[in-house]
Chain A
Amino acid sequence: MEKRENVISILVNNKPDVLARVAGTLGGKGYNIESLCVDVTVNPDVSKIILTTIGTKATIQKIEAQLARLIDVIKVENLTDVETVKRELALIRMTLTADNKNELIRKINQLNCKILTFNSDHCVLEFRGSKAEVDKVLETLKPLGIDDVARTGIAALERKN
């Protein structure tokens, strides 16, 4: 069966150790978490974990069932085939030199990046978009000297059209 990236949304009790239980459930079965995004929901007792992992449909269903068994997991949803809005945010720090500055400013405008800080040596950019768009921006900026990157991982929400 075909392997693909799955987006799984998990509602959990907002307690210490819960992320470790979720991560351990995947890691213990040999599955890598490709991206991870966690924060508290509007209910301060409940957090939402959105993670992506690669696997076949059958294995992902097993993972979902294993996750649903955890006492601190309230709900598991696979958003892969659901109509969702998916967004990722990347913070990108660039090293500035006399050689790359002009080209960089042109690219920043072209790519729709937001400038958060800018001084003589470095600038920090923000970019929001799908995972593929973030990948593309990073690829475009790479030749100009990326110093460091922080990505949030994918956040996803069902559209409910």
Chain B
Amino acid sequence: MKMKGTQILLECLKAEGVEVMFGYPGGAVIDIYDELHRNPAVKHILVRHEQAAVHAADGYARATGKVGVALATSGPGATNTVTGIATANMDSIPIVVFTGQVPTHLIGNDAFQECDITGITRPCTKHNYLVRNPDELASTIREAFHIARTGRPGPVLVDLPKNVIAAEVDYDPAKIRINATKLSLPPKPSSKKFVQMLEMLRASRRPVLLTGGGILLGKASDELRAFARRAKIPVTSTLMGLGAFPGSDPLFLGMPGMHGTYYANMAISHCDLLICIGARFDDRVTGKLDTFASNAQIIHIDVDPSSINKNIVVDLPIVSDAKSALENINRLLKDNNYAPTDAERKDWLEQIEAWKKKAPLAYCQDAEHIKPQCVIETLYELTKGKAIITTEVGQNQMWAAQFYRYDDPNTFISSGGLGTMGYGFPAALGVKLAFPDRIVVDIAGDGSIQMNIQEMATAMQYNIPVKIVLLNNGYLGMVRQWQELFYEKRYSNTDMTFQPDFVKVAEAYGWEAFRAKRPEEIRPVLEKGLFSNRPCLMDFQIAREECVYPMVRPGASISEMTLGTREMTN
């Protein structure tokens, strides 16, 4: 059947199960918008900046496990997507970004709103395409979704020249063929590897599991829980993996690394076996590499072979997705009737309990000033841990990771690898669209919220009642913390005391908004703001120079932490 390219695009999106896309029109994609007007097959959310479209698609993808979709026009529309794409790339998030392009005969001529977006995004996409031939449109879109969601997921960009989407070509979904040379998954690891893993586990007296975003991406949360509990292994999770293992489980150690818990870092430093699944030994996790888990044998399970032996040389590498690896090892434990006795684990678990008691996550209460940690703890209590939390980047992100306990997968949504300020709010819009019945809260700082604050209009236009908990200290707090600790308090360009009245800004957009200045106002403001069916900003004016602790100095061993008011430990 003959169809216009724009129709084919929408048909393909429907076939991929796309329910919602986020975008912003412009000259090169006006035909797609015309098609959407006629055929509202896919719900389109008009954002106010293309960066937000990609973050919203990314938040939707992280919350649902489906592929998120964004659409932007050529030139500046396309370049505005780059931060969002790089964010998704670093965290392996499946999204497909469509960009308009000038007609093929003008490509390379410096035409109006032309840019080489496939060239620009080559290093920050899993793959990208410039569709030159309308006959290849349908197969390219199918390939793009396939690549985005399989193996180690990631962002795929599809650049669509105006004449390609305007052309009429034959479309027959049954005849779409994708290039399969590279699209199959890696071979399953041999069963010998898991037998070896079991042997190492049997020999271990002090095992630790280090899990990451790969557990969530691989939908292996149940399998992880079964494994850790049967084998009685304490679990520490990177920022990206929070929620995969319940935050309130006694075996859970919290996050390791630079702002990890004392007990997670001590457990890694003293373990004799480290089983890393779906994490990639980022420098924020490992600290000084030479001393990281230096007493341990290391097993690394990852779906991406290039992640293994990249930062840390391991004793047993296993290339596999998290789910099938955990299914394999769980089956093996059962078949061999292996479960360590309480006595076998007693010493190790007692040691960990002692570390937990010695230095729990803590902060000093203050009768005059709002402590950000207290805001998050109260938020946790009032939402009974059932909210989906997104974050911006910096201190707000670390406090959100430390003081809210995530019991369910995909309930903590944050830009880990790239550390993108301005991520959390648009991501929250994507999350809320996917889960309209859940409370969705963006935990923000006053710096990062201003990077995509324009999306307050989007939230109103489509009635997306997300909540913003603003931890407002009038500083770029994390940079200020580094300046305090490592630059002798030279607060160069981090003071943001000049700021808008955030309550009035929110109200100007039609939002509800409340402010809290004193500790006793925390609870009433949260109670007013969280449960209404309107978008709401809650401006908490927090203690200005509060720091995130524990902290490992950049380049130091993770066993050397500053615990804040207390001394250095070892």
Known: A13-B181, A17-B118, A73-B182. A68 touches B306 (CB 8 A): yes
Min distance, Cβ B155 to any Cβ of chain A, angstroms: 13
Flag if A24 contacts B123 (CB, 8 Å).
yes
Q: Which residues of A contact B181 (CB under 8 A)?
A: 13, 74
Flag if A71 contacts B309 (CB, 8 Å).
no
Min distance, Cβ B189 to any Cβ of chain A, angstroms: 16
A44 located at the interface, meaning its Cβ lies under 8 Å from any Cβ of chain B in the complex: no
Bound-state CA distance A13–B181 (Å) is: 9
Flag if B182 contacts A24 (CB, 8 Å).
no
**Residues of A47-92 contacting chain B, CB below 8 A:** 58, 61-62, 65-66, 68-74
Q: Which residues of A contact B308 (CB under 8 A)?
A: 65
Flag if A71 contacts B127 (CB, 8 Å).
yes
A101 located at the interface, meaning its Cβ lies under 8 Å from any Cβ of chain B in the complex: no
Flag if B310 contacts A71 (CB, 8 Å).
no
Name the interface size band of chain A: 10 to 19
Bound-state CA distance A74–B123 (Å) is: 19
Bound-state CA distance A24–B305 (Å) is: 19
B341 located at the interface, meaning its Cβ lies under 8 Å from any Cβ of chain A in the complex: no
Bound-state CA distance A65–B127 (Å) is: 16
Q: Mark A21-42, 1 if CB is under 8 A from B, else 0.
A: 1001000100000000000000
Q: Which residues of A contact B304 (CB under 8 A)?
A: 69
Nearest B residue to A21 by beta-carbon distance?
Answer: B122
A20 located at the interface, meaning its Cβ lies under 8 Å from any Cβ of chain B in the complex: yes
Q: Which residues of A contact B310 (CB under 8 A)?
A: 62, 65
Bound-state CA distance A70–B125 (Å) is: 10
Nearest B residue to A73 by beta-carbon distance?
Answer: B182
Flag if A20 contacts B122 (CB, 8 Å).
yes
B119 located at the interface, meaning its Cβ lies under 8 Å from any Cβ of chain A in the complex: yes
Q: Mark B247-278, 1 if CB is under 8 A from A, else 0.
A: 00000000000000000000000000000000
Bound-state CA distance A73–B126 (Å) is: 13
Bound-state CA distance A70–B130 (Å) is: 16
B158 located at the interface, meaning its Cβ lies under 8 Å from any Cβ of chain A in the complex: no
Flag if B147 contacts A71 (CB, 8 Å).
yes
Flag if B122 contacts A68 (CB, 8 Å).
no
**Residues of B389-439 contacting chain A, CB below 8 A:** none
Min distance, Cβ B298 to any Cβ of chain A, angstroms: 16
Q: Which residues of A contact B179 (CB under 8 A)?
A: 13
Q: Which residues of B contact A28 (CB under 8 A)?
A: 123
Nearest B residue to A62 by beta-carbon distance?
Answer: B310
Nearest A residue to B313 by beta-carbon distance?
Answer: A58
Flag if B306 contacts A74 (CB, 8 Å).
no
Question: Which residues of A does B touch, CB under 8 Å?
Answer: 13, 17, 20-21, 24, 28, 58, 61-62, 65-66, 68-74
Closest 8 CB pairs of A and B: A65-B306, A71-B127, A71-B182, A66-B306, A28-B123, A69-B306, A65-B305, A74-B181
Given contacts A71-B182, A74-B181, 7 further A-B contacts (CB under 8 A): A13-B179, A13-B181, A24-B122, A58-B309, A65-B310, A68-B305, A68-B306
